Amino acid sequence: MSGIIIGSLSAQDLYRIRVDRKEGLIDKMGKTVVPAKFDKLLAFHDGLAAFKSGAKYGFINSSGKIVIPAQFDKVHDFAEGLAPVKKSDRWFYIDKSGNKKFDIVANFAYSFSEGLARFQLGSKFGYLDKTGKTVIDAKYVRAYDFHEGKARVQQNNKWGFIDKNGVIVIKPTYDYVWDFSEGMANFLVGDERTGKWGFIDKSGKQVIPAKYDKAFGFHSGRALIRKGNFKTGKFGYIDKTGKIVIDPQFDGAYNFSDGVANIAVGMGSARKWGYVDPSGKVIIARQFSKPADFKKGLALVRIGDFKSGTEGYINKTGKFVWKRQ
């Protein structure tokens, strides 16, 4: 039975394959690096990837060698040299050799980001440092990882940002916010259906007014926006001054990734996806029925339907470098 690539793993530009319900790794040339022998493989982070064997998780390196045997009930990614794992109803953090570094009393534990890791205790979220010390008490109803020195948190049904000392640096006044990316964060005023989106800078200043029906974070100096409602609105892109640099004309679109963005025109089965560069120039014509971001130079796409179509990885010239057999 032939395998199908199902996702990029990043370490040394490796990609997953699935053969007879087992997963392995190939490189960009389609060469098998690790035979398909794992029940499940997750993405590489910090040089290691989690794998599942039966009901337990462990970690492998980029050559496929098991460096931490499958023994955990739950795991999250390695980041900054540590990973949170759960065993016998207890969360703790391990290093890349599998050594326990510290225990944590929590319902959920998450990977480190910019020196701090989020944890959930009961219904509230807080943050700990790499010694396991709680540096920001679990007091937020909702909270997310730190990005560019700030983390978004919810207080009294409103969203704002804290710094790594737990000090509120942008007051919770918004109905929703996303993480900072390239120095700016998108915010919502109103509800998701009828509200408007804009952007703030790291000082909390509104640098782009709330005027878009939907807005996403900045990537490659461009932010995806939508004009109109969810069903009939059109997608385009703005720069950091709020200027529209790619007119809202697409029925579907994604953030820029790896320097390009996939865009679509058409509805239902007539929708076809292609790719544009940050200037809006079409670099790969609309022809794909299945969209996917480029990662490490390749994107998983399909031409035609699931049963009889052609599925595989393309490079940025639009050429298939691997096809499912």
Report yes or no on 259 lying in a domain. Answer: yes
> 3-state DSSP call for residue 62?
coil
Both tokens of residue 11?
């370490």
Report yes or no on 284 lying in a domain. Answer: yes
Q: Are 264 and 320 in contact (CB under 8 A)?
A: no
DSSP string, 186-209: EEEES-TTT-EEEEEETTS-EEEE
Report the distance separating Cα 237 and Cα 207, nearest Å: 16
Report yes or no on 73 lying in a domain. Answer: no
How many distinct structural domains can be found in the chain? Answer: 1
Report the distance separating Cα 65 and Cα 227, nearest Å: 49
Give backbone dihedrals phi and psi of 268, rounded to 5 degrees, phi first. 60, -140
Q: How confident is the model at residue 11, as a pLDDT?
A: 54
What is the Cα 243 distance to its own chain's centre? Answer: 26
Strands 83-87 and 56-60: unpaired
Report yes or no on 209 lying in a domain. Answer: no
DSSP class of residue 14 equals -
Report the distance separating Cα 40 and Cα 295, nearest Å: 20
Give backbone dihedrals phi and psi of 12, rounded to 5 degrees, phi first. 55, 30
DSSP class of residue 181 equals B
Report yes or no on 306 lying in a domain. Answer: yes
Q: How confident is the model at residue 319, as a pLDDT?
A: 92
Report the distance separating Cα 273 and Cα 138, nearest Å: 43
Report the distance separating Cα 118 and Cα 144, nearest Å: 7
Report yes or no on 243 lying in a domain. Answer: no
Q: Are 6 and 17 in contact (CB under 8 A)?
A: yes
DSSP class of residue 31 equals -
Report yes or no on 2 lying in a domain. Answer: no
Q: How confident is the model at residue 3, as a pLDDT?
A: 44
pLDDT along the chain (325 residues), means of 10: 45 74 82 89 92 96 94 98 97 98 97 98 98 98 98 97 98 98 98 96 97 97 96 96 97 96 94 96 96 88 89 90 75
Model's pTM, two decimal places?
A: 0.90
Tell me the residue range of the domain where 293 lies.
251-325
Q: How confident is the model at residue 1, as a pLDDT?
A: 36
Report yes or no on 279 lying in a domain. Answer: yes
Report the distance separating Cα 50 and Cα 139, nearest Å: 30
> 3-state DSSP call for residue 28?
coil
Tell me which residue of 203, 208, 162, 168 sits closest to 188, measured CA to CA: 208
∠ CA 245-247-251, rounded to 5°? 135
